[in-house]
Structure 1
Amino acid sequence: MTSTTLAGSAPRRVTLLVTRVGGQNLSLIGALAVVLALFGLLNDNYLSWNNVQVIGQAVTITGLLAVVQTVVIICGGLDISVGSQAGLASVVSAMAFTSAGSNALLGMGAAVGVGVLVGVLNGVVIVYGRVNATIATLAGLAAYKGVAQLISNGRAQGYVLNDSVFIFLGRGKIAGLPVMIWILVLVATAVHVLLKYTDIGRNIYAIGGNDTAARLAGIRINKYLVAVYGLIGAVAAVAGILLTARTGSGQPVSGSEGLELKAITAAALGGCALRGGKGGIGGTLLAVALLGALENGLTGQNINAFWQNVAQGSLLVVAVVIQQRRSGERAVGLPA
């Protein structure tokens, strides 16, 4: 092979890599590498296996919510109430567990049932009430948080760390990895397969890309939207159960407040177009890992936790600005 051939094949390989992995994902991988290298130099324990597991467990709940947030954004919607749904499910799982004589499966089943119920309720309000998704789920954010506080009197409920099932979920390991991480991997894989390799997934992309064309193609948009919000409720309930298992009790607000911002930020950073029709689970998980690594590193350097909120908000703005520039849409208030 001549030097000219080798020189010509190199750009093609780079192009192929960018096409397969995606420019957005490569950017996230690069940013994650920089964060890991920077904090690894500042803290000798940052890249230790134990700390990597700590980061993984810390981002699991956010990751679950970000995965389903990705689905609803692809579908052209949004759910700001996912954090409150997780908090409500956390309380329900602990209270049902205690009321049923320490029956973990009943507690978890009750939480998932409530999660699906509130998720479907969001979908029904949006679809059949014809309410904007942002407004409907913003109302849900307040309402579900209020319900969780009412039934719990605003306090943590129950104690689940005397139960082997909750202990296994919150602190157990499989093949050296925490169970919580395996649950995230399992849910993310299932959703990825659903989106990429099934007719349901293709229809979800079609609805977000052009709902009028999707309707003319015979896709039953209303049922899809209600089902997607129901899926969000179910996965948010799983996140709430893990929150209960991790903290040892049902948490109406603590641990779930602010999760909606993290989930939306991760989805946007991962490449989801907020107008719908574009995005993927791989990019979202990379963004979740980046946010988790950044938060852990800042905490390890004793940097004020309030700055972490500043960083999350800034990253969300940056992600949306990049999307606007790539889409070629006219900026608001500027001449065409």
Structure 2
Amino acid sequence: MKLDFSSLDALAAGLTDLPAIDHKAAEAAQARQAELTKPPGSLGRLEELAIFMAGWQGAARPRIDGAQALVFAGNHGICAQGVNPFPQEVTAAMVANFNAGGAAINQLCRVAGAEMLVVALDLDRPTRDFTQGPAMDEAEALDALRQGAEAVDTNASVLILGEMGIGNSTVAAALAHGVLGGKAEDWVGRGTGAVGDVLTKKRDVVRDGVARHAGLSPLGLLAALGGREQAAIAGAVLAARAARIPVMLDGFICTASTVPLWAIDPELLGHCLVAHRSAEGGHAKMLEAMGKRPILDLGMALGEGSGAAVALSVLRHALAMHDGMATFSEAGIG
């Protein structure tokens, strides 16, 4: 199906017709698991992952023929408030590092077997300071959502998502606070190293920004509080769903980018796995609120899609086990 980017309301209204999981394929995969040469449930989450992939691929024996990794990068007007210890020029420098193959995500994608694409979103034109007004107007938010959707390779078997953007842990905290409620301090963490007065400032601007934009729709909050990379991640998630591609979300910032979609309907993230529990404060609380269980917990907080790339290797192991193991009858057991 085609997503409607004519307005935020039109986009939200069209999300009721997205494809659903294939329950018959999932049931067939579950039946195969019961026949494999192992005690039932002995491979734990690996079994669940294989069944999940079967349901979204519509095949009892799913495979990963191609994996795509998308890393979206953006800059943020909220940095004018002094919420980050590094200048925004670092965003462009890291994008250059990604493109040169020198970042952590490059190495992890190479090992996990994912084709990586970096999408830089108007780095020379940061969003606006959300304590003074909306970070993006509707047209800007729709453009970022559309760019995220158009970046998705619809031939991929699985999509992993990541981000880069100085200041975007503040943006993520604001999205979580705006959609999930609680207090600003529930969601604000150290990010790239905020301590002392900088950390206090982060809490203050998140509190003030959320109060300023209270009462908006979920996609309205994405525009008012989010960044271009957050909107692009949300657009990519929706395009993947339209193409029945399972998605692997990275940590705190990537998950927060999908919170507005979850607020429209939690089932919009039914095709999404959360790769890992970030060490960034607030991610565990976010996952609890959304009912999402991460695959890994390695104390990571880098971003870039790094945790998702590591979890992709786990997903490959799950499918290799599911497809390659002999059944009891094939092995002549029992």
> TM-score normalised to the size of structure 2?
0.26
Tell me which protein shows more helix as a share of its residues: 1
Tell which has more relative contact order, 1 or 2 (C-alpha 8 A, sep 6+).
Answer: 1
> TM-score normalised to the size of structure 1?
0.26
Larger radius of gyration: 1
